[in-house]
Amino acid sequence: MVEGNKIICELFNSKVKIKEIFSIDPQKLDRTDVPVTHISENELKKISMLQHPKDSVAVCHLEPQEKSEDKAIQLVLDGIQDPGNLGTIIRLADWFGIEQIICSDDTADVYNPKVIMATMGSFARVNVVYTNLTEYLADTENVNIGTDMEGENIYRFEKPQKLNLILGNEGNGMRPETERLVEKSVMIPRFGKSRSTESLNVSMAAGIILGQLFKEAE
Amino acid sequence: MVEGNKIICELFNSKVKIKEIFSIDPQKLDRTDVPVTHISENELKKISMLQHPKDSVAVCHLEPQEKSEDKAIQLVLDGIQDPGNLGTIIRLADWFGIEQIICSDDTADVYNPKVIMATMGSFARVNVVYTNLTEYLADTENVNIGTDMEGENIYRFEKPQKLNLILGNEGNGMRPETERLVEKSVMIPRFGKSRSTESLNVSMAAGIILGQLFKEAE
């Protein structure tokens, strides 16, 4: 389920198939290739997952996404639970042109409506696949990179040609089985003096690390 | 109002004054200098602002924060509306050791409980002041830096000695009055191919830019 004309319109040119749209203002969508049903604001309120529903809701067909070959820079998610974090990470991947995200089976579902909303449409452009992470990480030729306050300073880190950046669960980090398959670790130096500062949110840390990894591409 | 023992305990060593704590498990707090009232889980549910209340709620005394002299790197917020974004930005500032954030009068309130929660305790360590932004930006000796897709590539940007990084409203960006006082602009290059990719969320953009600005401090 995808909500809001702005995102729905992005789907028309994507691999996502829209089955039906329910809209309070069908004329704004102006499509003849998809069935559009005119509904009232009250009806929209009842079907929407949002506190403040937007203009339309689209029901889309779920294509299970299959893993394609490893790319030069991939994200690997080990048990990310928060739908907002997953959505933000997908949006970030899209910004940096990362084509594939590989998730442990217990990572939040990419088709959860909260994830879909947080991606702002990016879910249609990034391949998000679920797999047995231990098997995948043991097999891949990409260098598996974890994050760890004892790791290499990201500002001095020499990027391998092909890499997986692994992001762990919000509370517990990576699983021990995953940690064992990590080949290198990076860290973002903390400039603030306070010892008690909570570590950065996982999606923010991913953004800052990707900002550095893509520096050389410039 | 601050929720959760983890954050409340960080306040004991901060400038924030706790007036009273309501807790379902007062023994865990183990303080004699602050009145702690034992309450039931049901009572906590009624006073908490959270869907899933934590263990305790602390009522704190609000000290209006006063602007101190300009620091070498400051954040300037022009109408940030989302409490989650403001909280995330404060947490990010704390990570990078940024001591002061200067906000337009219409920026979300730092004492909004949703902001407080999103800062994960960082609100006690960063000075967040509200002021007439146009007057402040016209007066400051810091170089005022905006963000703009036409700006200088952040990877090649030469950082001035003292600067204000200005972050605009989530939907509308900076106000025209603010834009007129911008001296330089920076941008994060977009590596993804899709034209339709939404710009990054404001707090994520701030994180990636700060990641670059602090590179030299390493």
The proportion of chain B whose per-residue pLDDT surpasses 90, expressed as a percent, equals: 72
Whether residue B198 and residue A88 make contact (CB cut-off 8 A), yes or no, is no
**Tokens coding B68:** 């101190």
Contact assessment for residue A88 and residue A118, using Cβ atoms and an 8 Å cutoff: yes
More confident residue, B62 or A166: A166
CB contact set of B42 (below 8 Å; sequence gap of 6+)? none
Whether residue A194 and residue B125 make contact (CB cut-off 8 A), yes or no, is yes
Class of domain A73-217: alpha beta
The gap between the terminal CA atoms of chain A, to the nearest Å, is 37
Q: How far apart are CA A200 and CA A204, in angstroms?
A: 6
Whether residue A218 and residue B155 make contact (CB cut-off 8 A), yes or no, is yes
More confident residue, A22 or B33: A22
Query: pLDDT tens, A46-87?
Result: 999 888 898 999 999 877 789 999 999 999 999 999 999 999
Q: How far apart are CA A184 and CA A181, in angstroms?
A: 9
Judged against a pLDDT cut of 70, whether residue A194 lies above it is answered with: no
Q: Which ranges of chain B would DSSP assign to H, the alpha helix?
A: 5-11, 41-47, 83-95, 113-119, 133-139, 176-179, 202-213
Q: How far apart are CA B84 and CA B118, in angstroms?
A: 6
Q: For residue A202, give the chain B residue with the closest CA.
A: B204
Instruction: Give residue limits of the domains in chain A.
Output: 2-61, 73-217
For chain B, give the mean pLDDT: 92
Going by pLDDT thresholds of 50, 70 and 90, the confidence category of residue B195 is: low
| Pairing relationship of beta strands B2-3 and B56-61 according to DSSP bridges | antiparallel
Place of tokens 């089955």: A19
Judged against a pLDDT cut of 80, whether residue B43 lies above it is answered with: yes
Going by pLDDT thresholds of 50, 70 and 90, the confidence category of residue A158 is: very high
**Tokens coding A166:** 């692994």
What DSSP string runs through B130-179?
Answer: EE-HHHHHHH-SSEEEEEEEEEEETTTPPPPSSEEEEEEBTTTBS-HHHH
Q: Does A52 contact B at CB distance below 8 Å?
A: no
Q: At what angle do helices B83-95 and B202-213 cross, to 10 degrees?
A: 10
Q: Which of B98, B196, B201 sits opposite A10 (nearest CB)?
A: B196
**Tokens coding B183:** 């001296």
Q: How far apart are CA A124 and CA A14, in angstroms?
A: 6
Q: Give pLDDT, residue A121.
A: 87
Of A129, A130, A174, nearest to A151 by C-alpha is A174
Alpha-carbon Rg for chain A in angstroms: 19
Q: What is the DSSP letter of A162?
A: S
Q: Give pLDDT, residue B215.
A: 85
Question: CA separation (Å) from B51 to A195, B45, B134?
Answer: 29, 8, 38
The proportion of chain A whose per-residue pLDDT surpasses 90, expressed as a percent, equals: 73
Of B105, B113, B146, B110, nearest to B128 by C-alpha is B110
Looking at mean pLDDT, say which of A8-12, B35-39, B49-53 comes out highest. B35-39
Whether residue A196 and residue B121 make contact (CB cut-off 8 A), yes or no, is yes
Q: How many residues in chain B?
A: 218
Q: Helix, strand, coil proportions of chain B in percent (round to 5)?
A: 30, 25, 45
The gap between the terminal CA atoms of chain B, to the nearest Å, is 37
Q: Which of B98, B197, B210 sits opposite A122 (nearest CB)?
A: B197
Q: Give pLDDT, residue B21.
A: 95
More confident residue, A194 or A107: A107
Q: Which ranges of A48-132 would DSSP assign to H, the alpha helix?
A: 83-95, 113-119
Q: Does A87 contact B at CB distance below 8 Å?
A: no
Query: pLDDT tens, A127-153?
Result: 999 999 999 999 999 999 999 888 999
Q: Does B153 contact A at CB distance below 8 Å?
A: yes
Q: For residue A98, give the chain B residue with the closest CA.
A: B192
Q: Mutate one of B191, B199, B209 to test the A interface: name it (highest A CB count within 10 A).
A: B191
Whether residue B88 and residue A201 make contact (CB cut-off 8 A), yes or no, is yes
Contacts of B71 in chain A (CB under 8 A): none
